[in-house]
């Protein structure tokens, strides 16, 4: 029996968040998934993920979003973390230039562990810290353009663009996958 198109279809995509320690990866995820912000850096180590659903074209699309949960402090983000990922958020802190400089290394690591079809979003987090800004929006945009990444600035603290950042990635993954199916 043929399956009716669009009926009961389920989508579940893995998305990984990467970037230096303390750029706000955990808080971006907790802001998106639970609308929570934690002002204290957590010390817990171990990979964590949250599953979040969104509606696209009347279909329920789920994203399983993974946070390194501190593994990067020991340069211990393993290939298992990247395995099966369809999308990634590469996060830096706009008030810490070194975290922006590290993006090149994170891109190298991503290229080692995933294929070129993975959807990539460059995220300049902590845009609420305008007075402490060390990386301009133009620099972020230029890097994104040069590397073929989406780009957005966010604040997990005041919620600016957090939902948008994740949803652009999830929609793009969905569009790529559904184009392939058709
Ligand atoms: P991670 O190590 O990359 O997961 O970073 P965390 O999410 O643990 O955040 C590190 C620190 O930065 C914590 O003290 C957070 O409260 C703070 N932080 C995270 N996001 C923001 C933000 O958007 N704005 C500001 N001002 N602080 C943030």
Q: Is 124 in the pocket of ligand 1 (CB under 6 A)?
A: no
Task: Please enumerate in sequence order all residues whose Cβ is within 8 A of that of 10, keeping only pairs 6 or more positions apart, or say none.
Answer: 60, 62
Measured distance CA(71)–CA(21) in Å, rounded: 9
Q: How far is the CA of 2 from the centre of ligand 1 (A)?
A: 49
Percent of the chain past pLDDT 90, that is, above it, reads 72
User: Whose CA is closest to atom 22 on ligand 1?
Assistant: 126
pLDDT of residue 46: 61
> Please, what sign has the CA dihedral across residues 166, 167, 170, 172?
negative
User: Whose CA is closest to atom 9 on ligand 1?
Assistant: 24
Percent of the chain past pLDDT 70, that is, above it, reads 88
The answer to whether residue 168 scores a pLDDT higher than 80 is yes
Secondary structure (DSSP) of 24-88 = SHHHHHHHHHHS---SSPP---S-EEEEEEEEETTEEEEEEEEE-TTGGGGT---HHHHTTEEEE
Q: Per 3-state DSSP, what percentage of the chain is helix, strand, and coil (rounded to 5)?
A: 35, 25, 35
Q: Is 22 in the pocket of ligand 1 (CB under 6 A)?
A: yes
pLDDT of residue 141: 98
Task: Categorize the per-residue pLDDT at 69 as very low, low, confident or very high, splitting at 50, 70 and 90.
Answer: confident
pLDDT of residue 8: 59
Task: Categorize the per-residue pLDDT at 82 as very low, low, confident or very high, splitting at 50, 70 and 90.
Answer: very high
The answer to whether residue 49 scores a pLDDT higher than 80 is yes
């Amino acid at each position: 029996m043929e399956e009716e198109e669009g009926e009961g279809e389920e989508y579940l995509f893995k998305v990984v968040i990467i970037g230096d320690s303390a750029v706000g990866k955990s808080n971006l995820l907790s802001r998106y998934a639970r609308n929570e912000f934690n002002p204290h850096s957590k010390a817990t180590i171990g990979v964590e993920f949250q599953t979040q659903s969104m509606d696209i074209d009347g279909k329920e699309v789920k994203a399983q979003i993974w946070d390194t949960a501190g593994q990067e402090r020991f340069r211990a983000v393993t290939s298992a973390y990247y395995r099966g990922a369809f999308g990634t958020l590469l996060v830096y802190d706009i008030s810490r230039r070194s975290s922006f400089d590290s993006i090149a290394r994170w891109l190298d690591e991503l290229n080692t562990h995933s294929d070129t079809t993975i959807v990539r979003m460059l995220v300049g987090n902590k845009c609420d810290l305008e007075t402490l800004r060390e990386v301009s929006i133009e620099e972020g945009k230029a890097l994104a353009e040069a590397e073929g990444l989406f780009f957005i600035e966010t604040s997990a603290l005041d919620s600016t663009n957090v939902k948008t950042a994740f949803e652009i990635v999830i929609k793009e993954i969905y569009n790529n996958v559904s184009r392939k199916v058709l």
